[in-house]
Amino acid sequence: MQRLGGSEGLISVSSSAIAGSAGSSDFGLIVATVSWANAVSGSQNLRIALNNDRLREGDETFTVQLT
């Protein structure tokens, strides 16, 4: 994620993952928060661990919701 439009004030972005065809056991992110301190801008990473369940499956999806 990238903070654009200035760097004044503290800002936080919360994220959660919503299962689609990939069930919640297929990925590790449930809820995470990324924050920028006052006078800090630029990019920060949101890491999502994918779990290899070794089942023979096609492509699966999930949604990351930002608030």
* Residue 26 CB-density burial (10 A; 0-12 exposed, 13-18 middle, 19+ buried): buried
Q: What is the pLDDT of residue 41?
A: 92
- Report mean pLDDT in 10-residue bins for the chain, 67 residues: 93 91 83 92 88 84 91
pTM recorded for the entire structure: 0.71
Which value, to the nearest 10 degrees, does the dihedral of the CA atoms of residues 24, 45, 14, 66 take?
-80
Q: Is 21 exposed, middle or buried (0-12, 13-18, 19+ CB in 10 A)?
A: exposed
In a domain, 65, yes or no: no
Flag whether 12 is in a domain.
yes
Query: Which DSSP symbol is given to 30?
Result: S
Domain extent for 41: 2-51
Q: What is the pLDDT of residue 56?
A: 85
Residue 42 resides in a domain: yes
